[in-house]
Structure 1
Amino acid sequence: MPVSRVPRRALTGAAAALGVLALAAAGIGGGAALAASSSQAAPAAAATHRVLFDNTKAETAGNADWIISTSQPDPLGQDSTPNAETDWTGALSSWGVALQKAGGYSLNTLPSGRTITYGNSSNAQDLSNFDTFVLPEPNVKLSAAEKTAVMKFVQNGGGLFLISDHNNSDRNNDGCDSPCVINDLLTNNGVDNTDPFGFSVDLLDISTDNPRAISDSSNPVLHGPFGNVTGSILRDGTTFTLKPGDNANVKGLLYKAGASGNTGAFFATSTFGSGRVAIWGDSSPVDDGTGQSGNTLYDGWNDPAGTDAALALNATAWLAGNGTTTPPTTPPTTPPGGGTCTAAQLLANPGFESGASSWSASSGVITTSSSEAAHSGSYKAWLDGYGTATTDTLSQSVAIPAGCAARLTFWLHIDTAETGSTAYDTLKAQVLNSSGSVLSTLATYSNVNAASGYQQRGFDLSAYAGQTVTVKFTGTEGSKLQTSFVIDDTALSVS
Structure 2
Amino acid sequence: MKKKWLRKWLQCVVASALTIATVMGIVPWMAADAHAEGYPHQVGLKLNAGNSAATAAASADLQKTAAPLTVSEAIAKGNNGEAVQVSGYIVGHATGSLTAKFQSPFSNDYNFLIADDPVEQNSAKLIDVQIPSGFRAQFGLQSNPGLIGERVNVAGTLAAYNNFSGLKGVSTIQLDDAEQPEPGEDPGEPGEGQPGEGQPGEGHPGNGGIPALPDGTGKKVLFDNAHAQTAGAADWIIDGAFSDFADGLRAAGFAVESLERTAPHQFDTPAITYSRLKDYDVFIIPEANIPFKAAEQDAIVQYVQDGGAVFFIADHYNADRNKNRWDSSEVFNGYRRGAYDNPAKGMSVEEATSPAMQDVISSDWLANQFGVRFRYNALGDVNATDIVAPSQAFGITAGVNAVAMHAGSTLAIIDPTKAKGIVYVPAGVPKWGNAVDSGVYNGGGRAEGPYAAIAKIGLGKAAFIGDSSPVEDATPKYVREENGARKKTYDGFMEVDDGVFLVQTVKWLAHDESYTSLSAVPGLVLDTPTALHAHEIPSASTEPAPEPWSVPAAGYKWYDPSTFKPGSYGSSQPPVVEPVYTFVHQSQLPSAQEFTIRLTADGLNPGQTATDLKVGIYLSGGEQIARFKNPDGTWSAYGYSPDFSLTANAQGYAYKDLTVQLKPNQAGAATLRLKVGSANVITKAVTIANVNAEPLPLTGRTLIHEAMGIAYATVYSQRLLSEAHLITGKAA
- Residues 51-77 of structure 1 show CA distances to partners (whole Å, capped at 9, x for unaligned) of 1000001000111000012xxxxxxxx
Cα–Cα, structure 1 residues 215 and 166, in superposed 2: closer, same or farther, change >3 Å? Answer: closer
Aligned 8 A contact 1:250 1:269 in 2: yes
Counterpart residue number, 2:423 = 254
- What residue is the counterpart of 1:318 in the other structure? 508
User: What is the distance in 2 between the residues matched to 1:128 and 1:289?
Assistant: 32
Contact 1:251 1:269 in 2 (8 A): yes
The aligned residue for residue 490 of structure 2 is: 298
Corresponding residue SS for 2:36:
coil
**Change in 2 beyond 3 A, CA 1:292/1:202:** same
SS at match of 1:218: helix
Q: Classify 1:191/1:268 alpha carbon distance in 2 versus 1 (closer, same or farther; 3 Å).
A: closer
Alignment of 1:307-346 (within 5 A): 307-321=497-511, 325-328=513-516
Asked whether the equivalents of residues 166 and 281 of structure 1 are also in contact (C-alpha less than 8 Å), the reply is yes
Partner in structure 2 of residue 144 of structure 1:
294
**Counterpart in the other structure of 1:263:** 448
Cα distance between partner residues in 2 of 1:317 and 1:142: 26
Aligned equivalent of 2:413:
242
Change (3 A) 1:129 1:262: farther
Partners in 1 of 2:301 and 2:335 — Cα distance?
Answer: 9
2:36 to 4, 23, 26: 26
Number of residue pairs matched by the alignment: 280
Letter in 2 for 1:230: N
Secondary structure of 1:130's aligned partner: coil
Distance 1:223 1:308 in 2: 12
Q: Is the contact between residue 116 and residue 127 of structure 1 (CA under 8 Å) also seen in structure 2?
A: no
CA distance in 1, matches of 2:518, 2:252: 34
SS state of the match for residue 492, structure 2? coil
- Note if contact 1:222-1:229 (Cα within 8 Å) is conserved in structure 2: no
Q: 1:171 to 1:325 in 2, by over 3 A?
A: same
Unaligned runs of 5+ in 1: 1-21, 70-89, 121-125, 337-495
Distance across 1 between alignment mates of 2:260 and 2:332: 20
On the 8 A contact 1:27/1:309 being kept in 2, the answer is yes
Change (3 A) 1:174 1:43: closer
Could you tell me how far apart the structure 1 residues matched to 2:247 and 2:475 are? 13
The answer for unaligned runs of 5 or more in structure 2 is: 1-30, 40-78, 82-109, 112-129, 136-169, 172-211, 341-360, 428-443, 479-485, 524-732
Instruction: Give the C-alpha shift of residue 155 in structure 1.
Output: 1.4
Select the structure that is richer in helix. Answer: 2
Residue aligned with 2:251, SS: helix
Check the 8 A contact 2:213/2:508 in 1, yes or no: no
The answer to whether structure 1 residue 207 and structure 2 residue 373 are counterparts is no
- Selected match of 1:128 from 271, 278, 294: 278
- TM-aligned CA distance change 1:119 to 1:218, over 3 Å: same
1:170 to 296, 302, 320: 320
1:23-422 map, 5 Å: 25-28=35-38, 35-39=131-135, 45=215, 47-69=217-239, 90-103=240-253, 105-112=254-261, 113=265, 115-120=270-275, 126-184=276-334, 195-219=368-392, 223=396, 228-243=399-414, 246-258=415-427, 259-261=444-446, 263-292=448-477, 294-303=486-495, 306-321=496-511, 325-328=513-516
Q: Identity rate of aligned residues, in percent?
A: 31
The residue matched to 2:232 in structure 1 has which SS?
coil
Question: Contact 1:151/1:191 (CA < 8 Å) preserved in 2?
Answer: no
Query: How far apart, CA to CA, are the structure 2 residues paired with 1:151 and 1:214?
Result: 28
* Alpha-carbon separation, structure 2, partners of 1:272 and 1:284: 27
**Alignment RMSD (CA, Å):** 3.4
Q: CA deviation at 1:151?
A: 1.1
AA aligned opposite 2:391: S
SS at match of 1:233: strand
CA distance 1:156–1:99, change in 2 (3 Å): same
Cα distance between partner residues in 1 of 2:518 and 2:387: 27
What CA distance in whole angstroms lies between the structure 1 residues aligned with 2:363 and 2:408?
28
State the Cα distance separating 1:214 from its structure 2 match: 2.7
Deviation at 1:216, TM superposition (A): 1.4
Compute the displacement of 1:179 (Å): 1.2
SS at match of 2:421: strand
What SS class does the counterpart of residue 299 from structure 2 fall into? Answer: helix
SS at structure 2 position matched to 1:97: helix
Pairwise CA distance, 1:193: 7.2
Shift of the 46–160 alpha-carbon distance from structure 1 to 2, 3 Å rule, reads: closer
Higher RCO, Cα 8 Å, sep 6+: 1
Aligned to 1:361: none
Distance verdict in 2 for CA 1:93–1:35, change over 3 Å? farther
Superposition deviation, residue 291 in structure 1: 1.9
Is the 8 Å Cα contact of residues 67 and 93 (structure 1) preserved in structure 2?
Answer: yes
Q: How far, CA to CA, are the matches of 2:498 and 2:302 in structure 1?
A: 29
Distance 2:426 2:393 in 1: 23
Q: Is the 8 A contact 2:396 2:508 kept in 1?
A: no
1:325 maps to a residue whose letter is E
Within 2, Cα distance between the matches of 1:230 and 1:218?
A: 14
Contact kept, 8 Å, 2:380 with 2:405, in 1: the verdict is yes
Give 1:196 deviation, angstroms. Answer: 2.3
What letter is aligned with 1:292? Answer: K
Task: Label 1:269 to 1:335 Cα distance change in 2 as closer, same or farther (>3 A).
Answer: closer
Return closer, same or farther for 1:116/1:221 CA change in 2, 3 Å cut-off. farther
Is 1:57–1:141's contact at 8 Å kept on the other side of the alignment?
yes
> Is residue 304–residue 459 contact of structure 2 (8 Å, CA) maintained in 1?
yes
Q: For the Cα contact (< 8 Å) 2:401–2:497, is it kept in 1?
A: yes
The TM-score normalised by the length of structure 1 is 0.51
Q: Which amino acid aligns with 2:410?
A: T
Deviation at 1:47, TM superposition (A): 3.9
